[in-house]
Amino acid sequence: MNNENRHENQRSALIKEQLRRSFQEKAEEELPANLTSLIEQLRQQDEQNGK
Amino acid sequence: MANDVIADIDPRDELVTHLGALRAFALSLCRNGTLADDLVQETVMKAWKSIGKFEAGTNMRAWLFTILRNTYYTTYTKSRREVADVDGVLSGNLAVKPEHDGKLAYNDFLEAFETLPDDQREALTLVGASGFAYHEAAEMCGVATGTMKSRVNRARQKLVELLDLSPDDSLELTDSGTMAVVVAGQSVRKN
């Protein structure tokens, strides 16, 4: 493998890792309270409707 | 047997397990925390209402991402998108807790990523971050697989330019986690 290909692979690996890290950190943030309330509301509605 | 197990899972329970990823996708698209949360709420309401249409055993995350994406592009107009993060909400919402030696590089990366055009940011998020295959991401975005590949390549190239990732600089840009990936890649190639 020549140097240019090796550097290209390194750059791709760097970008891929930073992307994953960025996405993972966002995905692990605590969910906003209004979203969890919404889920509870929807579940309650389903229960009331016998779903 | 496996299909029976899948069929037994209430899809509404599975939906809840994807909320974090759904919100991460929304943040990547909107670049605005408040807007992203509204978008996720709207997506959840739509998905919940249509949960009977979801086919057990298929990819729920792809289904949810597609609903979110369609909602974003149909409901959230260009003018609304252009106000993205004027108040720094996204910056404040980003849970950036970089390690000491990677802090500058990671923040640089986030800034560069946010300057990419919508379609490229979306392509990188779906393929590079969320782990969808090119053909899956292409299907979600309603484009050909080749188009998706092209968007990902252009986005990567743009990031390389924006971050000025010359061969010498690239190693300085790493934190310990990233370095591990790079080193692992090199080891595999040597073997």
Torsion of CA B63, B69, B70, B73, to 10 degrees: 180
Q: Which two tokens stand for residue A41?
A: 């509301």
Helix, strand and coil in chain B, % to nearest 5: 75, 0, 25
User: Where does B9-88 have alpha helices with state H?
Assistant: 11-17, 19-30, 33-49, 60-75, 78-81
Best residue of A12, A22, A34, A42 to probe chain B, by most B CBs closer than 10 Å: A22
DSSP, res B116:
S
Residue with token string 């934190």: B175
Tell me, what's the ipTM? Answer: 0.88
Torsion of CA B82, B84, B88, B93, to 10 degrees: -170
Distance from the A27 Cα atom to the nearest Cα atom in chain B, whole angstroms: 4
Q: Do A10 and B182 touch (CB under 8 A)?
A: yes
pLDDT in single tens digits along all 191 residues of chain B? 445 555 578 899 999 999 999 999 999 998 899 999 999 999 999 999 999 999 988 999 999 999 999 999 998 755 454 444 444 444 444 434 334 445 558 888 999 999 999 999 999 999 999 999 999 999 999 999 999 999 999 999 999 888 877 655 544 444 444 444 444 444 433 43
